[in-house]
Structure 1
């Protein structure tokens, strides 16, 4: 252990052990410049604090030697060894894109152990100047945080510098659902087509697209009018991949009488298709599928078939399939449905999230009740609302 004057600063050296391969003595070293510390006296005090901290790390076996690899090298290794095996197939490409397009060009050349919170702050500020949304910046921050958390777990660095940086705050945009007239126009345009029961079920249940495309007959009880959502289509094709719903919890979804009748027709039509295709029918027990039983391709569904129906119905092409889910939640709340029940039906992790996200859809009588309570607590008479 030693602190010695070197140049215009102090060098700290602490013995940490021997190299297990060569037997050579290993030291942890740090340099504190007078200029950086704000003077020689302050530099000496900082050097002593650093020495004490290094000794503590060595004695508690928490010392991590400096990593020689760059951030770019670690990100590549993290993507291949950690992210790819442990994320859903549709999520990994987004991680890879954020790393390749946004993180590596700005920070990739920096050595992992030289990365500082200031680097992260600068990266996020640059991305905002480039016009990226606050939500995209939040995604960049989260991906970098996860990669650096693994670096800590692997013993490459002693801390995650992202912990010292405030995560970007994403602007919450109120979800936009379809009006009753727009729903009617869309369903009318889809009448007689294979997608009609799918769209009807989406509007009446708020299920996610992947959940609809992964729904099995074994999980649907048409007699009692309920469906058990416990799998979602992750990847279509000849070897489809199914996974758990987004929050990884199965849930029961009630089916309206209109949906039940539509699904009965689907069941009857599928029985005929099974006979027609015979041995070539690929039976995954799916409620919504291709004529040969194979899963529907969600990408083709949204990019082509759904857009075609929007055009046929005279609706804006900006409407997304996911907006049908927003439509269910918004209309259910406006109709006076219990927010907790709505939250459970659509699989939100917390009823509070539902209320916060869809506050704009709360029925007027609920807002009126709050207004009257406020006036009562302030000892003011509440004027009668005009009759409608």
Structure 2
């Protein structure tokens, strides 16, 4: 089996990515490897503390923050969210998923916190992006690839959301992405603090996640990687430079995909989950909350329908959960997710493993690239 360094170097050599950082920890054994450069122009080499736009690796962090507020008694899993999000007090639903956006019926029941955590509130991306009710998610809410400077502030964003119909009735179907952003607004309103402040005080500072946030301060820009999409013949097209969209705090801190971080920082978060919510002798979450986060909550039919994104795997709170499958990288109970900016991170409770790979090339679609699959196969020992 290839070593972790060989996995990374192979993909850098073949032109899949300009560079990458990977961390695989099993118990007290931690293997950190780097390959390639922080940009595609032959500049600084990649380093263990390079900072990346982690995109949807933000989602598990958001879920953990929500569980903290549940433990604080600020809201419960079954509580309707309209108490804090009055914009969603009377949601409308398209009559069928393929109906025009003005062919709507009332929601059969309120949207709950549990609906948001499990991505079953009725908002988000289905496998078919051509459905009429999906278009406003891109055009009006700026869902999709992270673009911090393009999104309206939370109150204005929620006002826009209130005018967009649900694609399915609450609880009926798993839909990707939007629920995490809604959850971020819920967290901020329920705790009475901006989301960045709450995450910093309750998660990042206790865990020592000193390089994680919604923007990169000027003194750290030299460690911030450039962000690309794949061009023709192994070339890379620049999407965002270090002094670009993440160099200042955005109006809308996206709880679905707005964070920057490092391998070491996400490792601290993953290790806390493996320890049942405890870090440095301090309980940030209860074991029960971690179990809820890392347990599959989907029905078999919902798993099948979400296949474009999860490939039939389960979904906990903010991340996928492996179920019994024959994929060479599948490990039942593995919890985590991927980021559209080229990132992936999981914990494997059965083996006490945290596995993280961060690169800087945009995914071409929901299907994870070979770079990630080879990394997962290495972690699974196959």
Band the TM-score falls in, shorter-chain normalisation: under 0.3
Q: Which has the higher strand share?
A: 2
Q: Which has the higher helix share?
A: 1
The structure with higher relative contact order (CA 8 Å, sep 6+) is: 2
TM-score, with normalisation over the residues of structure 1?
A: 0.24
